[in-house]
Chains A and B, each alone.
Chain A
Amino acid sequence: MTWRNLLRTVWPTVPIVSALIITGLFLSAFGVSPGEGFSAMLRGAFGDVNKVLNVTAFWVPLALASTGLVLAFTAGLWNIGIEGQIILGAISASWIALKFDFPEPWQIIFQLLAAMIAGALWAGITGVLKTRGKVHEIFGGLALNNLAIILTNYLISGPWQPPEGGTFRGTEPFQDKAILPLFADSRLSILSIALLVIAVISVYLLLRGTSWGLKLKALGKNPRSAFLLGVSSERELLLALMLCGALAGLGGAIRVTSWFDSLRQSISGGIGYLSLLVVMLSNFRVALTPFIAYFFSAVLNGSITLQLRTQLHSSLGGILTGVMVLLVLLLGDIKTLNFLPKRMTKESTDE
């Protein structure tokens, strides 16, 4: 193996190591040694069984949203509105949980279904604004995200306010049967993991093995020629967005019925925006998204422990993931680094 091939082999780790070094500098700048900081994060994520269960519970809705986003990205859509779709899913599941009383298994089934429908419809609004109104999905989605947040705050402080009122910013806890069956004392539900596995496999097969997946890819790569070839873009775009919204809504339902037990003020915890980063880092490959999402979940939960230990703001986790995605995006593929000498980047012929 020549040094050139060696460089090409180790290159993908360069952005990741650089991101760790940069985050380490941010730690030292605030008087915490990088070793101490990273080990606090690591212990916060995997220190004991409860921590691992917590990371896993946070991971499920994030991975669900990321899985859905792969569909939207494949169709060439920037579904920033996913945050709002998660919130609408959470609101609808809460609505069924608070206001209806179905027999045992149906309660949860209806909650999840309502969440998926609401997420899909909320995504559909963004879609119609784009296909019919020519409003870019970034702006449509963003406005709808903010409307969804305002709607949550309205429900919590108005019609769904707990009877005792109080300062607590959330609804009253749901009835027992509305909560997903939880693993031991954790906030993790086995059912939600099963749903995630089904979602990942379905999306994988949908993109790999069906003509619809092929159409979607064609649309994402070149909308104009796909149109000329007779791919009806409006229907495919709407369908891709709404499927994404349905999975995001399901994620929202899992947030309210296992991570929490009620509708809270910032119910999504930013996992919508985070899932966009996950999918970008995966280079839009659905098989990779669950693993990257797990890493993100570990970093985020770890940085909350870091804050408890060192009083440093927990946004450090966001800095680590953000810098990592940025560097991978910019520098991850050595073949595109046209500022390096050609002989370093081009394929080696002498084996």
Chain B
Amino acid sequence: MNETELVKVLSSIVLQASPLMIAVCGETISERVGVVNLSLDGTMLLAAMTGFVSAYLSDSVFVGFAAAAVVGALFATIVAFGSIKLRKDQFAIGFVLTLLGDKLSAYLGQNFTRIPGPHVAHWGIPLLKNIPVLGPIFFDHDPLVYFAFILVLTTWWWLFQSQAGLRLRSAGERPEAGFARGVNINRLRYLYTIIGGSLVGIAGAAYSLDIKLGWAEGSTRGLGWIALAIVIFGGWSPIRGAIGAMLFGASKALAAVLQRRYPEVSLVAFNTLPWLLMLAVLLLVSSDITDRLLIIVPIRFRQQFRQALRVRPPAALGQPFTAGESGED
């Protein structure tokens, strides 16, 4: 492999990772405020279908992305309403929506499969795209890729640097404390779960309008679950999540390269890679084994290493919140 090929591979990793980065940001926001939206896989399928069909019928990718965002917001609203207002199991609602989104996308999209349609146009950033190596990798894509990167940075800044982000995180970490300081916990949870859901919808449409062009039944199946795992791997931080998304993209690119290099090795070995990787990284960030292995690290650096590897979910993740004794009404 020479330099041109390597740059090409890296550039494709960035492109492939961009929808995942958007979905991971959306789910990170939702989980940081305390709501697990487990429906990602179904949301993305339905949004990918809706986005493509809307863009096809209106001949405008903007309409496609808007429709996909509405689908994502709608599913997130169901999760939020069911868990916040009705106090039902978030996982159960999310899981049913996962299956329902899958079936709805297959049914509603049945007359639009495997046809060409509009897609996001390529637009390299002038000047920046001419930078050697970095230019083609990061700045010679389409606007969606830039949107993903801007979104990651904005989300990070919003969560960890702004006052609003402090209130957001308080709802997911210690809602009683936030409430005592005048934060309307449940309103925040609705708001951010719905924003997160619409981002997940946009991520779904990013596949059908940018990465995998067009709609076919089950086209993004599995990717929603990957995004959910990356949120954990990312330790509920958008930047770490983005790195996780790119690692996933890299593992797929690596599989493709290795497969061309060693055609005698069965395709199976490469197909298992993303799932084995998922298990491995989840073990790495959450099991006690990591702690035990850290003994080999000199004691001075152990704390930093531990922080870099282990993650901790928001303390009140998935727990309904009721202010005081009297209930919400």
Contacts from A to B (Cβ < 8 Å):
26, 78, 80, 129, 132-136, 138-140, 142-143, 146-147, 150-151, 153-154, 158, 273, 276-277, 280, 312-313, 315-316, 318-319, 322-323, 325-326, 329-330, 336-339
Residues A319 and B107 in contact, CB atoms below 8 Å apart: yes
- Closest-CB distance, A208 to chain B (whole angstroms): 23
Give the number of residues in B that approach A within 8 Å (Cβ atoms). Answer: 45
**Shortest Cβ-Cβ A-B pairs, 3 listed:** A318-B103, A322-B100, A315-B106
B287: A residues at CB distance < 8 A: 132-135
Question: Out of B85, B93, B104, B110, which one reaches A338, CB within 8 Å?
Answer: B85
Residue in B closest to A155 when the chains form the complex, CB atoms: B268
The smallest C-beta distance from A220 to any residue of chain B, in angstroms, reads 12
User: With A147-B272, A315-B103 given, is the CB distance from A154 to B266 under 8 Å?
Assistant: yes
Q: Which residues on the A side are within 8 Å of B93 (C-beta)?
A: 326, 329-330
Which residue of A139, A154, A277, A315 contacts B228 across the interface (Cβ within 8 Å)?
A139
B188 within 8 A of A: no
Q: How far is the CA of A315 from the CA of B105 in the complex (A)?
A: 9
B 119-149 contacts with A by CB, 8 A: none
CB distance from B103 to the nearest CB of A (A): 4
Whether B104 pairs with A147 at a CB distance below 8 angstroms is no
Given A316-B103, A329-B96, 4 additional A-B pairs, CB 8 A: A135-B283, A138-B38, A139-B279, A330-B88
Within 8 A of A (CB), among B69-122: 78, 81-82, 85-89, 91-93, 95-97, 99-100, 102-104, 106-107, 110
Report yes or no: A273 in contact with B92, Cβ–Cβ below 8 A: no
Interface of A is mostly: helix
B288 and chain A: residue at smallest CB distance: A134
Q: Which of B85, B222, B279, B327 gathers most chain A CB within 10 Å?
A: B279
Indicate whether A325 sits within 8 Å of B282 (C-beta atoms), given known contacts A330-B82, A330-B86. Answer: no
Question: Is A139 within 8 A of B329, CB to CB?
Answer: no
Distance in angstroms from B118 CB to nearest chain A CB is 24
Q: Is B289 at the interface (CB under 8 A from chain A)?
A: yes
A139–B40 Cα distance when bound, in Å, is 13
- State the CA gap A142–B95 with chains docked (Å): 12
